[in-house]
Structure 1
Amino acid sequence: MNVLVKPIVTEKMTAQSESLNRYGFIVKKDANKQQIKKAVETLYNVNVAAINTMVYGGKNKSRYTKGGMINGKTAAFKKAVVTLVEGDSIDFYSNI
């Protein structure tokens, strides 16, 4: 069972990884903190100090087109912010 869906690589998360040693991941909705910790530690060979999780609900969106109004919804997801112990780091760009 793969818990981690993808890493979050944004300007804000990159700044937090440099200053606070925190990394963001989008994870499966049914994953708990222990499963996320085990997945990050085995995949990246690091030690995890703390995990914060948050669930984002999908937002309703609408747009106007030539054919009329189109209504839809953005995807809901669960985000985990992982704080590593001092001295450990993750390099997302090593595989490129």
Structure 2
Amino acid sequence: MAFFNIFKKKEKSEREKKIKEKISPKPSKHPKEEKEVKKPIEKAGLSKETQKEKEPQAGPSKVKEKKESLAWKILKSPHVTEKATDLAKGNQYIFKVWPRSNKTEIKKAIEDLYGVKVVSVKVIKVPRRRRRLGRIEGWRKGYKKAIVKLKEGQKIEVLPR
């Protein structure tokens, strides 16, 4: 079993030999032989000056970078209730959002995620409520929700059928 050998100590002479080999360079067979100096190869007969001119510069590039959608940081889930389904007929949709998100972030997230034009965003903060079961008191979680109004003619399928 080779992996147990790492715990065994090697003899000092073996260690010293390895260290000396690493430190001292090996003498070459032909000490006065000169090495050939390699010259840089010119590309297709171009001089160095023209090569420098044709190298790509570190300026602004024309390639567009794909922006990542940050909707997962802002939107939690669609809020599906009877009132929400009635509002969906009037082109308004309700989403649960993270408490620190604001109207502009919510608008950008929905436009990126669903590819629609948002006309307005209304934000409602639902407070937590005290609940009791026997002697034990607790809290029902509060949340923040956003009512998003879309441009006429556009729809979001909140629950796929």
Q: TM > 0.5 between the two? A: yes
- Pick from 2, 6, 9: which aligns with 2:80? 9
Does residue 88 (structure 1) correspond to residue 158 (structure 2)? The answer is: no
Q: Tell me how far 1:54 sits from its aligned partner.
A: 1.1
Write out per-residue CA displacement over residues 46-83 of structure 1, whole angstroms, 9 at most, x where no aligned residue: 1100000011110000022xxxx111001111110000
Write out per-residue CA displacement over residues 27-62 of structure 1, whole angstroms, 9 at most, x where no aligned residue: 011101000000001111111000000111100000
Which residues of structure 2 form unaligned runs of 5+?
A: 1-69
Q: Tell me how far 1:93 sits from its aligned partner.
A: 2.2
Using CA pairs below 8 Å that are at least 6 residues apart, which structure has the higher relative contact order? Answer: 1
Alignment of 1:1-96 (within 5 A): 1=70, 2-18=73-89, 20-64=90-134, 69-94=135-160
User: TM-score normalised to the size of structure 2?
Assistant: 0.54
User: TM-score normalised to the size of structure 1?
Assistant: 0.88
> Which has more strand, going by share of residues?
1
Identity of aligned residues (%): 36
Distance 2:141 2:155 in 1: 30
* TM superposition outliers: structure 1 runs of 4+ over 4 Å: none
RMSD: 1.1
Task: State how many pairs are aligned.
Answer: 90
> Which has more helix, going by share of residues?
2
Whose Rg is larger? 2
* Paired residue secondary structure (1:29): coil
